[in-house]
Structure 1
């Protein structure tokens, strides 16, 4: 049995419960001579010597399985324990405390649990469930190798729980899908998840156990820049692995600007960021278009799409992209009529740009009228 002192994210009881697989009893405690800071560039804290003391929680009597689960989670952040004496409401207790490996992170601004919970709490708890699902089957270092993507997928699941229209389709109940087994045979930037499951049929009975797989990627945001004064759009062109793997003789695609939604941003923030990164554009207004699953039979991907109003003068098109992500992107300026011709010709053959083209054709008169009137 062992006692542990937590000073950072594991002071958030929902997260600690997910990591341990149970709700432990705890008491408030303090580690003298230490302070807690944000780890620079990260979404978690780091402890450092000095200061009036680090406030936290003491959990006593943890067993071998508890410690193994904690080590699985903390090892992914390159943390290991030291034994130190903490003050637990007047009691002096020798407890294990997780410290980062030397040189792995740098302390930044002072850290407060409340600030972290507001910004990162929900998505971190959701991501921890994914990490802990791999406990005992995948080493911690391997599980955390794609932690940023796990956070993105966790944020996607949180958005997926939002209430959506149910005028025609069935309303799912908690017991309508029953999972008998889950596996993750592949996980890098993307992942593949395999399920043995049963689902409720329309006659009310449960199906036989079926095997289904899904390609897991985070939600993405897509925007078509449109200048309502000049009546033109900006499109981008880049090499795409999907068409190449299919055997397409022309794997360079004409597309709209798009990108994965980071775990700490909204879809609207994502498209504004991507417009800057891919084309150097500042979008003045976002007109919601459509939100949808492009391939629901096999992919978990969900798209948020927009018409982005922007100033698109001659010369704005060029070469862009984020170099460290190996992006090589060429922009094209087209009149609205030439854009419609491109859609009709079949040269544009990806769903997001086709959908956005149809939405723009429908909304364009009202957008142009509003901007001509100066509204």
Structure 2
């Protein structure tokens, strides 16, 4: 088979096939590799005089071909027979987009894709292939955006964290005997039959634990250090409603999930623009944390967003296509603290970020005042 795009990435091939697969350089004459318009994956197009660069994989088994067909079939790609140049003409199969489905979106840049998407797509491929033999590829593709979100979360979760006080996890400390996914849609639920190492060195008996899979998210509290004001947003929330809360409209920071291929910082800027109509001057990273680790995967990246909040800032925002109806409130910082004290603000991320900002205010206000003085000179 001739691979010309994402399958040139060896770790992705291994995630799909479950094994390493030797390849060698190859090219397909009179063709070009282009990105599918509005997507992040490539496709082949006819290009007289051009040359599509890629790799040739030989010695594939029937199982290999079936696994590749499942993965590529999810993106509506079918196989065609071609002849590639690999030290001589070699007949090969190639994945080709179904006619009329994807449009040419411009040149494909493998290096740029690898930098932004390589690790995330490789992680998502594991979730995709976990459904091999259990689901139709087209149905799996419908969940692919959520798989990319989770793939990005896994990549970030691998980053090293301090273990000065707590146990340093070692290979074999957690063992999974069985895995099930009884529900998968925008969110998903997973069940593990799992055991882990006790503090006395022994392993626990296998137990069944369910986990609610949600995205990593950002939390942003816009703050004007000159005026000492913050902006919080108000919106209807299903969690309080389903709990039976008499007041399901909450005061919150700006927040949103981190999409696949997106950094927490770029997500913070995007969400602030969408929910509050604000273009931030900068971000100050606050504490990152799990929201409810006993049952949820959600991990929060918190930021104070430096902004100008003059009178009249706020109003109605949100994306109509996501049925968002969001009202912004600008207030003095001390009013936010008073709302926390009264219980009207009862959202943990906003409370944590407000108290963290309280510690940073003297520094941020001094820096803003010095910057304003320099600008006036």
**TM-score interval w.r.t. the shorter chain?**
over 0.9
1:175-229: CA deviation from partner (whole Å, max 9, x where unpaired): 1000111111111111111100110000000000010111111211111011111
Which residue pairs with 1:201 in the alignment? 198
1:267-314: CA deviation from partner (whole Å, max 9, x where unpaired): 111111111111111111222221000100000010000111110011
Q: Which range moves more in the overlay, 114-123 or 170-179? A: 114-123
CA distance in 2, matches of 1:101, 1:194: 36
SS in 1 for 2:145: helix
CA distance in 1, matches of 2:116, 2:335: 44
CA distance in 1, matches of 2:231, 2:110: 43
Which residue pairs with 1:93 in the alignment? 90
SS in 2 for 1:32: strand
Which residue pairs with 1:299 in the alignment? 296
SS in 2 for 1:89: coil
* TM-aligned CA distance change 1:64 to 1:343, over 3 Å: same
Unaligned regions of 5+ residues in structure 1, if any?
Answer: none
The offset of 1:374, in angstroms, is 3.0
CA distance in 2, matches of 1:121, 1:353: 33
Aligned residue among 159, 163, 166 for 1:166: 163
TM-score with structure 1 setting the length: 0.96
Aligned residue among 113, 122, 125 for 1:125: 122
- How do 1:173-252 residues align onto structure 2 when only pairs under 5 Å count? 173-252=170-249
SS in 1 for 2:71: helix
Q: Determine whether 1:257 maps to 2:254.
A: yes
SS in 2 for 1:237: strand
Q: Which range moves more in the overlay, 236-245 or 297-306? A: 236-245
Which residue pairs with 2:375 in the alignment? none
Q: Which range moves more in the overlay, 229-238 or 358-367? A: 358-367
The count of residues paired between Structure 1 and Structure 2 equals: 371
Aligned residue among 70, 81, 92 for 2:79: 81
Which residue pairs with 1:350 in the alignment? 347
Which residue pairs with 2:308 in the alignment? 311
The offset of 1:41, in angstroms, is 1.7
SS in 2 for 1:127: helix
Do the aligned partners of 1:12 and 1:113 also contact (CA within 8 Å) in 2? no
Do the aligned partners of 1:34 and 1:50 also contact (CA within 8 Å) in 2? yes
Unaligned regions of 5+ residues in structure 2, if any?
Answer: 373-377
Q: Which range moves more in the overlay, 106-115 or 44-53? A: 106-115
The offset of 1:365, in angstroms, is 2.2
SS in 2 for 1:207: coil
Q: Which range moves more in the overlay, 228-237 or 291-300? A: 228-237
The offset of 1:61, in angstroms, is 3.1
Q: Determine whether 1:57 maps to 2:55.
A: yes
Do the aligned partners of 1:37 and 1:46 also contact (CA within 8 Å) in 2? yes
Do the aligned partners of 1:7 and 1:36 also contact (CA within 8 Å) in 2? yes
Do the aligned partners of 1:152 and 1:262 also contact (CA within 8 Å) in 2? yes
SS in 2 for 1:361: helix
Q: Which range moves more in the overlay, 43-52 or 108-117? A: 108-117
CA distance in 1, matches of 2:306, 2:24: 54
CA distance in 1, matches of 2:83, 2:270: 46
Which residue pairs with 1:278 in the alignment? 275
CA distance in 2, matches of 1:186, 1:343: 36
The offset of 1:27, in angstroms, is 2.4
SS in 2 for 1:50: strand
CA distance in 1, matches of 2:74, 2:246: 42
The offset of 1:94, in angstroms, is 2.4
CA distance in 1, matches of 2:137, 2:282: 43
CA distance in 2, matches of 1:102, 1:258: 40
The offset of 1:83, in angstroms, is 1.4
The offset of 1:114, in angstroms, is 2.4
Q: Which range moves more in the overlay, 294-303 or 328-337? A: 328-337
TM-score with structure 2 setting the length: 0.95
CA distance in 1, matches of 2:308, 2:243: 37
